[in-house]
Amino acid sequence: MSQQVKVEISSAYVREGANGKFVSLNVRDSGEAGFVALPEMSTEVSFVTYSVSTEIWAELMKISEAKMKEVNPKAKWSVETDSAKNKYYSTKSSDLVVQLEIELSRALTVKSTGSGRKSVDTLGISGDVTAITVRGRRAGNGLKLS
């Protein structure tokens, strides 16, 4: 029996690699029961990534945008800019979360890069997407002052 993870896409960056461009998705565990749990962020790993070709990313965007529009007709992926002026894709402006179910093709392993204070532990997920779902963002913490 194969193992699956369910992750939520935080952001997606187009990167240049040795074999050309690819898209690196920063993801986090959905926390749903029935799926393999990812290591805790900040205590065990710094980043969790899932990388795909630009062609696969275009298809993921198309399918997920159609699902987003079922929840909110105006929803779409937006292009944002981070503090280092890098452009990335996000659904923040739509108040929706895109989730991927991924059938793992190999065990989850953490890779360390850098050294000392600049050391980063990254978990790379490998496998095929088997389902794409969309949900609304969970309500954040607020104030209830009387």
Each residue's pLDDT tens digit, 92-132: 878 899 999 999 998 888 888 767 666 778 888 999 999 99
Residue 146 CB partners (closer than 8 Å, separation 6+): none
User: What ranges make up the beta strands (E) of 1-146?
Assistant: 4-17, 20-29, 47-53, 78-81, 87-90, 96-104, 109-113, 120-124, 127-136
25 within domain boundaries: yes
Structural domain of 112: 4-136
Query: How many domains does the chain fold into?
Result: 1
146 within domain boundaries: no
Which of the four pLDDT bands, split at 50, 70 and 90, describes residue 62?
A: very high
> Model-level pTM?
0.84
35 within domain boundaries: yes
142 within domain boundaries: no
